[in-house]
Amino acid sequence: MKTRVLGVAGLLAVIGAAFFGLFVVPADLNQGDAQRIMYVHVASAWIAYLSFGVTAMAGLGYLWRRDLRLDAIALAGAEVGVMFTAFAIWGGMMWGRPVWGVFWQWEDPRLTTTALLLALYLGYLLLRRLSEDPARRATRAAIVGLVAAVDIPIVHFSVIWWRGLHQGPTIGSPDKLLHPSAPLQFVAALLLMLGAFTLVWSYFMIRRYQLARIEWQIEEHGRVGRISAARRAAFGAPAEEPIR
Amino acid sequence: MTDLGFVVAAYGVILGGVAIYALTLVRRLRIAREASLRIRRDADAAPPTPSGGR
Amino acid sequence: MSQLARHATVALAIARKDALSELRGRQASGSTLFFAALVLLLFGFALGPDSQRLSEAAPGLLWLAIVFGGLLTVARLHQLEAEDGAFEQLALYPVDRRAIFAGKALAASTAMLVLGGLLLPVVAILYALPIGAAWLALIATVVLGAIGFAAVGTAYAALTVRMRAREVMLPLLMLPIVAPLLLAAVKATAAALTGDPFGELGSWLQLLAGFDVVMLVVGAGTYGFLLEE
């Protein structure tokens, strides 16, 4: 099956990219080995944004077309996106501790934006879990996914201005430390990891979509069963409207 | 913890997480497919009661 | 009557209806104001008694109180309709959904404007803030903040009002969305109070206005889907 090939390709690509980033590329003169974390950290973040972009577009598509398959794509994007967002935050913290001396710094716009991203889409997933009717669930999710997506650029600008206008001393100016000593190889390592993650992401999206479709079918079967059972029990009287 | 420790922690959790997610996803898919097949078999064996349309 | 005038009439009618029920059910809106003031008081206990520290934190505390009060406000403005089944009736009217949204958002904005306006003197007293010449900039900040919060709140309140765990879902969904609004409003308030030493007030107000426009557009565009459920 083609998807299985994609999965294997992704696995090999990740191993290759990790090997390149960990053992082939030299350590940074300023940041030392901690620089290597950037490859997985930045790649995770980009994939998360990609994933949430898909969620927003698929949700928009659902509002337009009412096709639940689009909703399944949106769900896949959100779940996979949340995972990569968590990775990005973890990577950012593991990089921050050796480089800044602290795990968290409010002045780093990327870290704060990513934390908000996680909160937004965990809320999205929770919203889906608390809605039972598939159509309402899909509508609500689409709207929340859309609002979250348009909020992100606003958040991005606001936290950048937040830092830019702050005039106090910083622990270790993040900008200075982001200028690497061997740009070409570092960029290559980053792009390699990004490519590998993209393959892995595509594989996850396909599988999660397939899972969502089957789970929906099972859910539908359960609903039909409950409705007809209730009908039988009440001799034709309509079942009470459940919370939607 | 040395710098190397943080690198290991970063790569370990992230790549490990990718691997775990892949395995659990495949497993969830397998379980769902089995459940779906079972439902279809039961439906074929015993046709739905004629209690009016949906 | 032109289409725009017709929409405006509908929106104003809905806003007026909400405003009247707010005034009649005075306990509810009064309680929300009381709650927000209590929050401000409690912040004093949590962060005090150093007046210097409280003064510096005051803009943030003010806006946190507005946000908490706002959550109650937007929830309340949708609850009455949900309980009476009026939502379904609203959906049956052959009017543009955007007009309905505009009306509800206008009502929510007004309620939040009142809330913010009444909390300003409370903050000024509790945290010793010299409002003086900054009052115009402060009003502008409260207006822009209220509109943005009301836009998101109106959409999300309609979304969550018929859900299980709605009391926690509304804040849970709203708080991350309004984080940039909170950030900008606090910075603008602080800038206004200190005489805007870095000339940043304009930028923050622009960010607020941008947030408002985006959320009003998205809210108006999607409100119809929420009514049709």
Hey, where are the domains in chain C? 3-227
- Give the residue on B whose Cα is nearest the Cα of A7: B22
Q: Which domain holds residue B31?
A: 7-45
- Give the residue on C whose Cα is nearest the Cα of A156: C180
Does residue B50 form part of some domain? no
Q: pLDDT tens, C64-120?
A: 999 999 999 999 888 877 777 777 777 787 888 899 999 999 999 999 999 999 999
> Cβ contact (<8 Å) for C225 and A154?
no
> Cβ contact (<8 Å) for B54 and A83?
no
Q: pLDDT tens, B5-32?
A: 999 999 999 999 999 999 999 999 999 9
- Report residues of chain A scoring pLDDT below 50: 167-177
> Cβ contact (<8 Å) for C229 and A147?
no
| Confidence (pTM) | 0.89
> Cβ contact (<8 Å) for A161 and C152?
no
Mutate to test the interface with A, among C177, C183, C194, C207 (most CBs of A within 10 A): C177
- Chains C and B, touching by 3 or more CB pairs within 8 angstroms: no
Please tell me which chains touch B, using 3 or more CB pairs under 8 Å as the contact test: A
Q: Among partner residues A40, A200, A236, which is closest to B11 by beta-carbon distance?
A: A40
Does residue B30 form part of some domain? yes
Is pLDDT at C132 greater than 70 in this prediction?
Answer: yes
pLDDT at position C106 is 94
User: What are the boundaries of each domain within chain A?
Assistant: 31-165+174-234
Which positions in chain A touch B48 (Cβ < 8 Å)?
Answer: 228
Mutate to test the interface with A, among B2, B3, B29, B33 (most CBs of A within 10 A): B3
pLDDT at position A167 is 41
| B35 φ, ψ (degrees, to nearest 5) | -60, -40
Mutate to test the interface with C, among A133, A154, A161 (most CBs of C within 10 A): A154
Measured from the Cβ of residue C48, the count of other Cβ atoms closer than 10 Å reads 13
Q: What's the total number of domains in chain B?
A: 1
